[in-house]
Structure 1
């Protein structure tokens, strides 16, 4: 009987630290460039979290998704072209699935997983920090990808071509 009560107490204590994480605030920035303009920074200020984490960042798992229509820059014409290039009506979301968290010491981690973008799924890793304070988890990570790896042709403007590489910067706060 004592073993059952002890096991129940351990499970109850563990469940107090477990839980789903919902998006509270933050941004996901997708930076690229074209000759003469290094400030192409469409940003999404919301995301949908299907992430969960127990007591430590090493237990982070699940997915986070961004609606392509939520990516907005400082130029409406650019945004229209970007939505056409991304074919956001056909491929409305980008989804990253966390499959493994590699601890690098302190809050520093590598999030290994798979990115689904434009109907293509590829392995991808993000490096940065996952930290917790009170009932909030902050994920601040970055990575780079190529549009062409996901079947997206970088847009052309007259003689200029947008750089194929996109630098992703994620800084989000999730609440338990």
Structure 2
């Protein structure tokens, strides 16, 4: 009896003829090799030259110190004597912060923190500056890097010590500001409260009358250790032990 052929069923695997092996395209192989090499070189560059790239390319341009802005009004608009007597408030547009140098894996970077959360008042009696209290919200101070700001807030414990405060300790003669057409330079001695620690500091102050009031720019050196703070040294970044406090105040009645 002749053998009957079973009809093919769905799912049966039929043997197929082997496909001829294709040789890799030399041009494709070369391109893949170049891409792989480029990726490896990029990783090496980031690991070894990342700090240089950050300091020279990625990091934003260093912000200028807080100084008196260029005058935009005519001298005649501030002609005549200025009544400096009384209480002056720290008004809108005031700014404060710090400036400190750090070395990031061998590359020098100047870190600048800024905030406009500044309040306070000054009192002039008989041509003498007799009272000053200026407060800065330290939790609001920001640089170009959020991770650095978070470390800054932890180091200062801004939850416990939210403000830095400057208070006058010695009267200062500011009577010359009443008639001066140029900025007046005066040292102002006081106490800086930072991180819950009080230390004497002297602000180098430059004051100028304006049509709307008085502008004041001030700086003072700050040694971190004096306020119970340690300059962080994380191996790849080292912070200098001393920085500069900066103030730019818009004083109004």
Range into which the TM-score falls when normalised by the shorter chain: 0.7 to 0.9
> What secondary structure is seen at the aligned counterpart in 1 of 2:189?
strand
Superposition RMSD in Å: 2.3
Runs (5+) with no aligned partner, structure 2: 1-82
Question: Which of 15, 25, 31 is 2:93 aligned to?
Answer: 25
More strand by share: 1
User: Are 1:39 and 2:110 an aligned pair?
Assistant: yes
Separation in 1, partners of 2:97, 2:123: 22
Contact 1:85 1:155 (C-alpha < 8 Å) held by counterparts: no
Which one has more relative contact order, counting CA pairs under 8 Å at least 6 apart?
1
Q: Does 1:168 align with 2:245?
A: yes
Between Structure 1 and Structure 2, whose CA radius of gyration is higher?
Answer: 2
Q: Structure 1, unaligned stretches of length 5 or more? A: 1-14
Q: Does 1:92 align with 2:162?
A: yes
TM-score after normalising by structure 2: 0.58
Counterpart selection for 2:200 from 98, 102, 123: 123
Cα 1:172–1:76 change in 2 (3 A) is same
**TM-score, normalization by structure 1:** 0.81
Give secondary structure in 1 for the equivalent of 2:91: strand
Q: Does residue 80 of structure 1 match 2:150?
A: yes
Query: For this pair of structures, how many residues does the alignment match?
Result: 161
1:38-83 per-residue CA deviation (whole Å, 9 max, x = no partner) reads 2210112230113223474x32522100011111111111101111
Q: Does 1:51 align with 2:125?
A: no
User: Is the contact between residue 25 and residue 46 of structure 1 (CA under 8 Å) also seen in structure 2?
Assistant: no
